């Protein structure tokens, strides 16, 4: 059973103003509604972050968003409410930050997220060809309106990002949090094959 797509839950296209219906709600149920449990350890990590900002609770917005996304994968409505509570402001004060910064996702991406640098030095070094190669190799389809292409099983996603500050060793990619430099197609193959989260390295348990 797939819940009907409510066009109002989609995002608004930044330049045309059109509403982009969120079709990804449907392929594995309605994740946007499922709440996660805030564990005491998670709450402690959040409280520790607050101590870094003695002059203003609001300053903790970015680190709290990072904490949430690293733990739970993407910024849900629940995340926004929890953070608004932590900084004692309205949810809109969190939402406006989420929509401004490119690193925050409002939808899950793949378990293995490949970010390819798009900017000039990497483009000169073959960044576009590398991105096209990875799109095909990982069978992630065409990028969506946010530039993210995710495989149907949710294992891989591939996207372009802007300058990653390793221009001398172009082209550069990130796989989750790790940087890789001078990435040839062969090197990309080897990195992805060796990745601990790759399906070949995680046979489904009986």
Q: Is 179 in the site for other proteins (CB under 8 A)?
A: yes
Q: Is 165 in the site for other proteins (CB under 8 A)?
A: yes
Q: Is 123 in the site for other proteins (CB under 8 A)?
A: yes
Contacts with other proteins by CB under 8 A: the residue count is 50
Residues from 25 through 44 that contact other proteins (CB under 8 A): none
Instruction: Compare residues 32 and 145 and give the one whose CB is closer to other proteins.
Output: 145
Q: Is 118 in the site for other proteins (CB under 8 A)?
A: yes
Tell me how far, at minimum, the Cβ of 45 lies from other proteins, in Å: 13
User: Which residue from 79, 80, 84, 97 is in contact with other proteins, where contact means CB under 8 A?
Assistant: 97
Instruction: Compare residues 10 and 126 and give the one whose CB is closer to other proteins.
Output: 126
Q: What is the 3-state secondary structure (H, E, C) of the chain?
A: CCCCCCHHHCEECCCCCCEECCHHHCECECHHHCCCCCCHHHHHHHHHHHCCCCCCHHHHHHHHHHHHHHHHCCCCHHHHHHHHHHHCCCHHHHHHHHHHCCCCCCCCCCCEEEEEECCHHHHHCCHHHHHHHHHHHCCCCCCCCCCEEECCCCCEEEEEECCCCCHHHCCCEEECCEEECCCCHHHHHHHHHHCCCCHHHCCCCC
Q: Is 135 in the site for other proteins (CB under 8 A)?
A: no
Q: Is 191 in the site for other proteins (CB under 8 A)?
A: no
Q: Is 87 in the site for other proteins (CB under 8 A)?
A: yes
Instruction: Compare residues 138 and 164 and give the one whose CB is closer to other proteins.
Output: 164
User: Which residue from 162, 184, 189, 199 is in contact with other proteins, where contact means CB under 8 A?
Assistant: 162
């Amino acid at each position: 059973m797939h819940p009907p797509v409510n066009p109002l839950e989609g995002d608004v296209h930044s330049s045309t103003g059109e509403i982009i219906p969120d079709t990804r709600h449907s392929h594995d149920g309605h994740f946007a509604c499922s709440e996660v449990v805030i564990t005491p350890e998670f709450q402690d990590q959040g409280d520790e972050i607050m101590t870094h900002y003695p002059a203003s609770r609001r300053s903790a917005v970015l680190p709290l968003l990072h904490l949430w996304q690293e733990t739970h994968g993407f910024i849900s409505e629940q995340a926004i409410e929890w953070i608004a509570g932590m900084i004692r402001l309205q949810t809109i004060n969190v939402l406006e930050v989420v929509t401004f910064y490119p690193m925050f996702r409002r939808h899950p991406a793949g378990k293995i997220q490949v970010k390819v640098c798009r900017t000039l030095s990497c483009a000169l070094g073959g960044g576009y060809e590398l991105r096209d190669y990875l799109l095909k190799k990982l069978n992630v389809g065409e990028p969506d309106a946010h530039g993210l292409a995710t495989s149907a099983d949710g294992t891989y996603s591939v996207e372009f990002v802007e300058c990653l500050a390793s221009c001398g060793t172009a082209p550069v990619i990130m796989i989750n949090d790790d940087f890789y430099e001078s990435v040839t197609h062969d090197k990309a193959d080897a990195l992805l094959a060796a990745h601990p989260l790759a399906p070949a390295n995680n046979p489904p348990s009986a």
